Amino acid sequence: MLSTATRSDVAHAIGRATAFFAERETRAGVLARRLLGTASTRDAVLADHLTRERRQRTRMDGSTDGSLVKSAWTALELLQLDCPPDHAGVVRTMGWVLARQSQPGRFGEECSDERHAQGLCQHFLSGFFSPGPTDVGVAPLSFPSGVTVHGEEEARFAASCFALRVVLRARQERRQTVLDHVRSLLNLGQVWSGWGGRWPPDLVLFALSGLAQAPLELQDRVEGLAAQVARRQRADGSWAGADLIHAVDVMLTLPTAHAAVRAAVPQICRLSHDGEIFEDPEAEERSLIALRGLKAAAA
């Protein structure tokens, strides 16, 4: 339960969010107004326009600029705009994304004595998505939540986890290669036992986000890992070394982790007070995530 002081801070932050999103003719604007209960009949027309716009920006092969992350994001945007998983635009883009599985350039492709001993090679990892061949660097790689991954290998890992998150959202969980990716992440013990060092917190969060909508028979294991990450939360609601908005975005995908979202509310309110959210149009996705966190905590 939120304290009286926190409820006041939340009300102030939501007021700023309401003003910020009031006239935004963007996907984030449409979704924010739905959350705030301020959507108008015009938003339905706008959502239809935004859906067509996203379909038009894809290439003939179904990708967005030939990018794994951008293509997965396009599919997720369509799903968030109420397109069902069997919508032509989603199916076309998902087809391109799924074709990137087990392709050269994926995380864990190579094997060495050291990598084999750590379980970080093709003999242990399968189903990962490739963001492109290794002779073309992908780092630094930025994601919609505002997180940027700078290491080459780390960027390839994060990109695959992000793609998996969307593929599962698009109801492709029964494909064997998708299940292989899910199980590979579940079995990457060193990811879950570490926090920092070889596996920075934001990478651990990417891994967890990729598992959020895993098949029902694997959810007990996912919930156990989510609990581990939640225990890393500090008393002030933040996670050491992790981007707060990224952490909130991931925790929102896990129903059992909503207590962690509530605990993060003071930090979200601080970001609002400091003008880091609900102010810059270039950071509207971060603002939308923050609003979702506030609304979930206040529910």
- Residue 9 main-chain phi, psi, to 5 deg: -65, -40
Residue 299 is predicted with a pLDDT of 78
pLDDT in tens, 122-179: 767 899 999 999 999 999 999 999 999 999 999 999 999 999 999 999 999 999 999 9
pTM, two decimal places: 0.95
Distance in angstroms (rounded) separating the CA atoms of residues 58 and 73: 11
Q: Using CA atoms, how far apart are residues 179 and 174, in angstroms rounded to an integer?
A: 7
Each residue's pLDDT tens digit, 173-201? 999 999 999 999 999 988 888 777 789 99
pLDDT at 195: 79
pLDDT of residue 119: 67
User: Domain limits of the chain?
Assistant: 57-263
- The answer to whether residue 1 scores a pLDDT higher than 60 is no
What's residue 53's pLDDT?
Answer: 97
Average pLDDT over residues 280-291: 97
Query: Is a pLDDT exceeding 90 seen at residue 112?
Result: no
Output the CA torsion 89→95→101→103 (10° steps).
Answer: -110
DSSP code, position 41: H
Between 68-80 and 88-98, two packed helices, what is the crossing angle to 10 degrees?
Answer: 150
First-to-last alpha carbon distance for the chain, in angstroms, is 10
- Please answer whether residues 115 and 85 qualify as being in contact, where contact means their C-beta atoms are separated by less than 8 angstroms: no
Of residues 108 and 205, the one with the higher pLDDT is: 205
Q: Give the Cα separation of 151 and 141 in Å (integer).
A: 9
Average pLDDT over residues 234-252: 97
Residue-level pLDDT at 146: 97
Spatial CB neighbours of 181, under 8 Å, sequence gap ≥ 6: 101, 126, 127, 128, 129, 160, 164, 210
Residue 269 pLDDT class (50, 70, 90 cuts): very high
List of E strands, the chain: 141-142, 148-149
Instruction: Name the one residue in this structure whose structure tokens are 């400091």.
Output: 274
Bond preceding residue 281 cis, omega within 30 of 0: no
pLDDT the model gives residue 4: 59
C-alpha count within 13 angstroms, C-beta hemisphere, residue 158: 27
